[in-house]
Amino acid sequence: MLWYWLIDRNAKPAFDALMEDGSPWPKISVVTPSYNQGKFIEDTIRSVVMQGYPNLEYIIIDGGSTDNTVDIIKKYSNEITYWVSEKDNGQTQAINKGFEKSTGTILAYLNSDDVYQPYTFRTVAGLFSKFKEINWLTGYKTHLNDGHLVSPTWNETVAYDQKFYRKGLHLHNLLGWNQQPSTFWSRELFNRVGGKFNESINLNMDINLWIRFSEYERLYFVSTILGLMRKHPEQKSQRIQNTWELFEREQKYLNLYPLFFRKLIMTAYQIPGLRFLLKRMVYDPVGKIIVWDHDRGQWIMRTKNLF
């Protein structure tokens, strides 16, 4: 377990005028959709603005909260690029409204009960700059529990194969998916899939976007914690039953393999002899991971087999 400490921090870290390679810091746009999350949203806002990132665009779209959310937003209004509080049609529309206002080259959204790590933007900017092939990046799946305890799920997948993702094998009860608050992507990739989340989906809109991304780009994994998803009883995904059955119904048009076939593939790759034949004759799923080389003091990229 680790302690999450940023919320009690009052000093922003210093940034050099330029990155190490002499290039300007890329603009990072973060959108926070919000509705009646006054209990948590100050932690969320502080985890964004207290990083001191020099080229940040922070946008909050509130759905007309009736608790103390707006008062908290106003408290940090000098640190927020744009915010509004008005009735909308739910979380997905709020996210789209935010990205319509955004101008950054690196994008992400952070729900109003989740938080980033103090180093997240510096790390993400550096990786996008160092590895030009990255258009889509994620870190460890991690939760923030009561008492501000950080609990990474180290046994989750750390390698994502593009074809397997595209056909629906990186989903629940299969290979596992990337966590939304830990995921960042490029403006270029977002525009290639239409520059919008699917507003007919109000729960798994992030995974819907990931699968659309996988039509064009692989997902890169960096071996650090970028975002923390708060676990609490009021969390939307905790309140909705059978979310994955709902997801399977919603995603039929994405041309995924049928669920039974995906489960069959997973079973086949678990059998050593059959796995060898499948990898040699059919398909060898691999992912790209980025790890810190302590000897060289830099991030390096490696290829990792899924099986």
Domain membership of residue 258 as a residue range: 18-236+248-305
Sign of the alpha-carbon torsion through 74, 229, 97, 51: positive
Distance CA 247, CA 118 (A): 33
How does strand 286-293 pair with strand 82-85? unpaired
Q: What is the pLDDT of residue 127?
A: 98
Global pTM value: 0.93
Give domain status of residue 40, yes or no: yes
Q: What is the pLDDT of residue 149?
A: 78
Helix (H, G, I), strand (E, B) or coil at 217: coil
* Mean pLDDT of each 10-residue bin along the chain, 307 residues long: 50 93 96 96 97 97 97 98 96 97 98 96 98 98 82 87 96 89 98 96 90 97 96 58 68 84 95 95 97 96 97
Q: What is the pLDDT of residue 147?
A: 66
Distance CA 161, CA 286 (A): 5
Burial class of residue 299 in the structure, from the number of CB atoms within 10 Å of its CB (0-12 exposed, 13-18 middle, 19+ buried)? middle
Distance CA 258, CA 207 (A): 17
Q: What is the pLDDT of residue 81?
A: 98
For residue 178, what are the CA distances in angstroms to 70, 80, 124, 156, 209?
31, 27, 16, 9, 12
Give domain status of residue 32, yes or no: yes
Residue 139's domain is classified under what CATH number? Answer: 3.90.550.10
Give domain status of residue 257, yes or no: yes
Please say whether the beta carbons of 170 and 218 come within 8 A: no
Q: What is the pLDDT of residue 236?
A: 56
Q: What is the pLDDT of residue 237?
A: 54
Give domain status of residue 122, yes or no: yes
- Dump the DSSP string for 173-198: TTT----GGGEEEEHHHHHHTTSS--
Distance CA 192, CA 282 (A): 29
Give domain status of residue 2, yes or no: no
Distance CA 140, CA 227 (A): 8
Give domain status of residue 154, yes or no: yes
Residue type, position 207, single letter: I
Q: What is the pLDDT of residue 255?
A: 87
DSSP 258: P
Task: Give the number of domains in the chain.
Answer: 1
Give domain status of residue 301, yes or no: yes
What residue has token string 């609490």?
232
